[in-house]
Chains A and B, each alone.
Chain A
C-alpha cells in the first residue's frame, strides 16, 4: 500500500495534463459556442482561426526575440499576444464583412453558413502554410518547468515524480482569468447583456432595440481574441504545427456540444469532460493499482479500458453518444 505514490502518479499522468488540455479545449470551445450563440452556425474554420492567431503570435515573438526583449522566466509570447489579437480581430472582421454578412442579410440556412465556413477554412489553411510553412515552429522561451519530475522525486523521496510545465501553469491561470472576465462581461456590461439577449431570443432582442450588427461584431472580436490566446497557449504547451490545429476541430466541437452549445459554461465543462475522458479511458491502471493493492495481489494485465489507438476516437464517441442521448448537451444549450 502506497497511497501517496498512487496519488502522485494520478496527478502526474491524468490530472495535470488533463487540466491543461481541458483548459485549451475550453478556450477554443468558448469561441465556437459564442459564434454559435449569436450567428447560429458551427464554425468549421475555428481550428484554422486558432492556428492563424498562433501564427501571428509566433511572428511577433520572433520579432521581439530578435530585438532582445524578454520577460523571463515567462515566455516572450505573452507579450506578443496583444498585437496578435489585434491582427486576428481585423482578419475576422474582414471575413465577416466580406462573407458572412451577405448570408446574414439573406437569412440563409445554417448549412449555408457552415459551407461558407468550410470555404474560409480552406483559404486560411492555405494562407497559414503560405506564410509560415507546414513545419513545426518553436517559439517558447523562458523557464520551461515549474517543477521538474526529477526534482520532485528528490524533494519528496517518493518514487513517482510530478512534473508541471510553465506553459501548463500559464494556460490554467489565463483560462481562469479569461473565463472570469468573459462572465463578468456577459453578466454585467450592457454589451454583454445585449449579446445574451440576442442569443436567447433574436426577435425579442431586435424588438427591444438591440443592434444586431453590433452584437455580431462583439462576438467576433471576443471569438478572435479567445482563439488567438487559445492557439498561442496550445502552441506554447505542445508545439506549433498548422496541421494539428485542423485536427483540433472535432474535439472542439465535441467539447462545445457535450457541454451544451451556445452556453459558455457548457463549453468549459465540455472541454474538461473531453480532456479527462480521453486520458482516463485509455490509461492503464496497472501501476496505480500496484501501489494500492497489497503484496501478491498486484494485477498482471495492463488494466486498460481502451487502447490508446482509439484515444482520438474517444471524444467523437462521447460526442455521438451525447448527441443521441441528450442533444442539448449537459448544460441544456440550444434546442436541436
Chain B
C-alpha cells in the first residue's frame, strides 16, 4: 500500500511540474484574511507587478511567463497556512514561494513545508529577529530587514530629535513584542527612558483602558508598534479622543495612507520609520507603483516588488525553473559583482543573465543579502505634515 502510494504520489508530482510548460507558477502566500488583510493586497500586487514585467519582457527563459497563484496564510493559523503552502508546492507545483508575511506562520511554512521540499521562500515582511536563526538550509530569504534593526533606527531618530521619554504600546504578537523589546534596549542604550511598555490586543473595540494606562505615566510621546487597521488605529483614536497624546511615534506596521486619511491633521507631527529605499530606486519604483494603482508608501510594497524581481532573475540565472537552481542563484544575482539593476529594469537584467553576464539587483530597497539571506535594509524616516506622510531622511 505504502509502496503504491509513494509511487503514485511521485508520478503525480512529476506530472504537475512537467506540465508547467511555458507558464511558471509561483506561489503568493500572504494573509489575505486576518490581522493584516488590509496591507496584503498591495504587497501581492507589487510582487505581481514584477512578475508581469519579467513575463512581458519575453526574455525570461526564452519567453516563459510567470503565473502567480495566491493562497491565504491567515497570518495566525499555522495549521491552515502549512496546508495551503503544501497545496501550492505539491498540488500546484510552484517553482518558488513569495511570502509569507507574519513571522509565526512564516516560520511554520519554512520549517514544515518549504525547506523540506527544497523550495525557496522569500518573505517581504516577516521581520521577527528569531527568524534569522531558523534551520533553513539556505532556502529562506527575506527582503524586509529584521525588527532588531528597526528598533535601533527608531531609537536613534528619537535621540536626534531630543525625545527622551516615551510610552510604548505594541500589538500582542511576535512582531509587536519583538520590536518593542529591540526598541527598548536600543533606546535605553542611547539614554532614553521607556516609561511603560504595554500590549494591546488586536480585534478588540475598546482601548480606553490601555490609553488611560499609557497616559498615566506622564510621558509626552506615545510609540505605537501595531497595525494601522487594527488595535494600533484604535489606540491612536482613543488617545486623540481623550486628549491623552498628540505626539505619536509609528513603526512600519502603522505607516499607510489609510491612517492619515482617517486622522488627517490630528496626526500632524507624528514621526515614523518604515523600511524603504535609499537611492533613486525608490523614486523610480514610486512612479511605477502609482501607475499600477498601488499605494507607493504602503509598508513592504517595495520589498514585495524586489522579492518578486529576485525570483524572476534567479530563475533566469539558473537557466531553468528548477527549485534548487533558484536557491543556488538567488544570492549571486542579489549581491555584487555585476551590472546594477534597478526597479523597472528586470528585462535588462534578464538579458544580461541570458548572455552569460552577472547582475547585482539593487531594486527599490537597495537589496544586499548577508550570509543568512536577509537584508540589512535602509529605513525611511517619515513625518506627518499637513495630514500627509513625508519622507524626511533615509537611514
Contact = CB atoms under 8 A, between A and B. Distances in A.
Partners in one complex: yes
B234 A149 contact: no
A148 B243 contact: yes
Interface stretch (B201-209, B304-312, B319-327): B201-209
Contacts of A234: 205
B213 interface: yes
Interface stretch (A75-83, A101-109, A193-201, A235-243): A235-243
B386 interface: no
Interface stretch (B108-116, B215-223, B268-276): B215-223
Interface string A22-36: 000000000000000
Given A13-B242, A284-B217, A243 B203 contact: yes
B205 A239 contact: yes
Contacts of A287: 215-218
B185 interface: no
Contacts of B203: 241, 243-244, 247
Contact of A247 (B204, B233, B234, B241): B204
A310 B242 CA distance: 22
B37 interface: yes
B212 interface: yes
A149 B242 contact: yes
Interface string B183-209: 000000000000010111101111011
Interface residues of A, number: 46
A111 interface: no
A288 to B, nearest CB: 7
B43 to A, nearest CB: 16
Contacts of A279: 208-209, 212
Contacts of B199: 308-309
Contacts of B198: 307-309
Interface in A141-171: 145, 148-150, 152-153, 161-163, 165
Given A283-B213, A302-B217, A311-B210, A161 B205 contact: no
Between B172, B199, B229, B241, the greatest number of chain A beta carbons within 10 A of the residue's beta carbon is seen for B241
Interface string A248-287: 1000000000000000000000000000001100111111
A239 B210 contact: no
Nearest to A234: B205
Contact of A309 (B38, B172, B215): B172
B370 interface: no
A279 B212 CA distance: 8
Contacts of B37: 134-135
Contacts, number: 111
A21 B238 CA distance: 13
B265 interface: no
A136 interface: yes
B242 A244 contact: no
B287 interface: no
| Residue of B33, B198, B218 with most partner-chain A CB within 10 A | B198
A99 interface: no
B393 interface: no
A17 interface: yes
Interface string A112-152: 00000000000000000000001110100000010011101
A302 B217 CA distance: 7
A135 B209 contact: no
A238 B206 contact: yes
B243 A17 contact: no
B262 interface: yes
Interface in B220-267: 229, 233-234, 237-238, 241-244, 262
A21 B207 CA distance: 10
A285 B237 CA distance: 22
A5 interface: no
Given A13-B215, A149-B242, A283 B209 contact: yes
B252 to A, nearest CB: 19
B216 A286 contact: yes
A282 B213 CA distance: 7
Contacts of A307: 198
Given A12-B242, A135-B37, A163-B241, A302 B205 contact: no
A185 interface: no
A284 B217 CA distance: 8
A187 interface: no
A163 B204 contact: no
B216 A244 contact: no
| Most chain A CB neighbours (cut-off 10 Å) among B37, B216, B242 | B216
A14 B215 CA distance: 12
Contacts of A304: 213, 216
Sorted nearest first, the 4 A-B pairs with minimum C-beta distance are A149-B243, A17-B208, A13-B212, A161-B243
25 contacts: A13-B244, A17-B206, A18-B208, A21-B206, A136-B38, A148-B243, A150-B243, A152-B243, A153-B243, A161-B242, A162-B243, A165-B241, A238-B206, A239-B234, A244-B205, A282-B213, A284-B196, A284-B216, A286-B216, A288-B216, A302-B213, A302-B216, A307-B198, A308-B213, A309-B198
Given A14-B212, A17-B208, A283-B213, 7 more contacts: A13-B244, A17-B206, A18-B208, A148-B243, A162-B243, A163-B241, A283-B216
